[in-house]
Amino acid sequence: MGRNAAMSNPATNSDSLQRRATTFTVSVVFFSLLLAGIVLIVLFIRVQVENSHTAASTTAKVASSTVAAAIRFGGRDVISDALRVFESGSNHDSVALYDGSGALIAQLIAPGEASFPSTLLAGSQPTIGMLEAPPVFVELADTYANTSAPVATMVVKPHQGALRETFHRAVLALAVVLAIAALLSVLVAQQLSKALLRPVRELTEWVDVVSESFDVTRISQMPSTRTEEVRRLAASIEALFSQIHQQNSELKHKQYELRAINKHLEHLAFSDALTGLPNRALFEEQLKREIEHAEGAGSSFALLFIDMDQLKQINDLQGHASGDAALRATANRLRQALSETDFVTRLAGDEFMVISPKVQTNEDATKLGAQLNERLQEVAEGDSWRYPVQASIGIAMYPQNGRSVTELVHAADVSMYRAKLSGNQAKD
């Protein structure tokens, strides 16, 4: 009777399995919650820092072309205005622009953030705290110059104050949740331990009944446990998570492939594969922008249509490989002969177009055409063709010869054919 009484109320026994299970459950829950909280805080810091850095990097890449154009065509006021693309809300990122020698050109500081140093030391690495996102460094290249050296460096620093404020709010919310969860775990632990130990308790009662009654027929009435069902459920959950993980990996792989394809398609859409020059689509967009600018400023510009006269002879007598080499050489010589403000493109086949914003008169346009023809006729040591490259060049002026893309291209085309028929190098 004494043994049965003690077993009827296991919670009164300090060595009871139920009490031990309750204490163990509370301890496991408490330390699990504590560990989970630490892990969540660390992961949250990492995610927030990476998100801030990624957002700053994306904004810097989007704004790089605008800032590079401001450096090329404007002064400090234009550069400062270009940096205002980063002003998006009160917690926007800070940005600074350094020239090629590392001197500070302009900066845009977010409210409450520190200013940038006056010089950018080569190879120096800033000290980054645990709650700080690293700055983004973007080297701005001059796409029109025949050099790969950067003309300036743009440094974008994510808003550290906003990052710390977000972290503090998240930590406070997480602390409240953990406190509530810890209190609830104490209340739930006893009920949980009882539920977990129910199969053991049922088995113990069955053993007592069989021992007291000596009724062997009750052996077949042994209570069933759910151990196998739990194992099967665990296996099913594990298989489900494995499938989800595999699908996520495949999705990320597809996303990387799609990004690479999009980048390749963008390159194909706006550049000529043989010469590397902008193609017709990009040329038409540039010509539209130049027309809008000239119309607003009341200025003029020249459009030159260049046709290579000897390409067919080179292809027929020396092969298309020599013809391709002549096209590439023509593109390089045009790049070298033109100024930084000029825009050159390969229109199609052996036809090239040049937009020259600084040329304001027919006389200057004719001189530019003659200079280009002289440059194209130069013979270099690496040339593999025997025929000197000559060109027929047609000239159209805005707005005298047209006010739209179609009108200007047509006028330059007609002028080129007149030059080809008359034997002149350049004709307006």
* CB-neighbour burial class of residue 110 (10 A; exposed 0-12, middle 13-18, buried 19+): buried
d(CA 140, CA 98): 10
- Token duo for residue 172: 């406070």
d(CA 396, CA 305): 8
d(CA 52, CA 134): 9
Listed residue (57, 67, 62, 65) closest to 143, CA to CA: 65
Answer yes or no: are the C-beta atoms of 71 and 151 closer than 8 Å: yes
Answer yes or no: are the C-beta atoms of 277 and 329 closer than 8 Å: no
Q: What's the farthest any 2 CA atoms get from each other in the chain?
A: 128
d(CA 330, CA 66): 29
Query: CA separation (Å) from 48 to 87, 114, 125, 157, 167?
Result: 20, 20, 21, 14, 8
Q: Are strands 351-356 and 301-308 parallel, antiparallel or unpaired?
A: antiparallel
Helices (H), 74-214: 76-83, 160-213
d(CA 118, CA 308): 51
Answer yes or no: are the C-beta atoms of 74 and 185 closer than 8 Å: no
* CB-neighbour burial class of residue 99 (10 A; exposed 0-12, middle 13-18, buried 19+): middle
pLDDT of residue 394: 94
Under CATH, what is the fold of the domain 280-427? Alpha-Beta Plaits (3.30.70)
pLDDT of residue 245: 47
Answer yes or no: are the C-beta atoms of 380 and 268 closer than 8 Å: no
Answer yes or no: are the C-beta atoms of 166 and 175 closer than 8 Å: no
Q: Are strands 351-356 and 343-348 parallel, antiparallel or unpaired?
A: antiparallel
Answer yes or no: are the C-beta atoms of 303 and 409 closer than 8 Å: yes
| Count of C-beta atoms within a 10 Å radius of residue 283 | 24
Those residues whose C-beta lies under 8 Å from the C-beta of residue 300, and which sit 6 or more positions away, are: 294, 359, 360, 361, 397, 398, 399, 400
> What is the DSSP code (8-state) at residue 103?
B
pLDDT by 10s per residue, the chain, length 428: 444 544 455 555 555 656 666 677 667 766 777 777 777 777 777 787 788 778 778 877 877 777 777 777 767 777 777 777 777 777 788 888 888 788 888 888 888 888 888 888 765 666 666 677 788 888 887 666 666 677 788 888 888 777 777 777 777 877 787 778 777 776 776 666 666 666 556 656 655 665 565 555 555 555 555 555 444 544 454 454 456 447 767 878 888 878 877 776 666 666 778 888 998 889 999 999 999 999 999 999 999 999 988 777 777 777 778 778 888 888 888 998 899 999 999 988 889 999 999 999 999 999 999 999 888 887 766 666 656 677 899 999 999 999 999 999 999 999 999 988 886 555 55
- Token duo for residue 269: 């859409």
Listed residue (424, 303, 404) closest to 354, CA to CA: 303
pTM: 0.40
Scanning the structure block, which residue is given the tokens 């054919």? 417
d(CA 62, CA 98): 18
